[in-house]
Amino acid sequence: MNNRWRQIKRLPIPVSKFFDLYYNEQPDPPCPVCGGKVLHRHYYDEHVGIAETVDECTECNYYETESYGDTRLEVGKWSAVYHYTTSDKEISQIRGEFVRQQILEKERRKTERRKYYRKRG
- DSSP result, 74-97: EETTEEEEEETTS-HHHHHHHHHH
Show the domain range for 56.
31-120
Residue 11 lies in a domain: no
Percentage with pLDDT > 70 across the chain: 75
Task: List, for residues 17-32, the tens digit of each pLDDT value.
Answer: 655 655 556 677 889 9
Q: How many structural domains does the chain have?
A: 1
The pairing of beta strand 49-57 with beta strand 78-83: unpaired
Inside any domain, residue 58:
yes
Instruction: With H, G, I as helix, E, B as strand and everything else as coil, classify residue 61.
Output: coil
Choose among 77, 78, 33: nearest CA to 55: 33
36 falls within a domain: yes
Residue 58 has pLDDT above 60, yes or no: yes
For residue 61, is it within any domain? yes
pLDDT, residue 54, reads 92
Mean of pLDDT over the chain: 83
pTM metric for this prediction: 0.72
**Cβ distance 62 to 33 under 8 Å?**
yes
The mean pLDDT of 71-92, rounded to a whole number, is 94
Rounded to an integer, the average pLDDT of 25-41 is: 84
**Is 77 domain-assigned?**
yes
3-class state of residue 39 by DSSP = strand
Residue 21 placed within a domain: no
- Whole-angstrom Cα distance, residue 110 to residue 1? 53
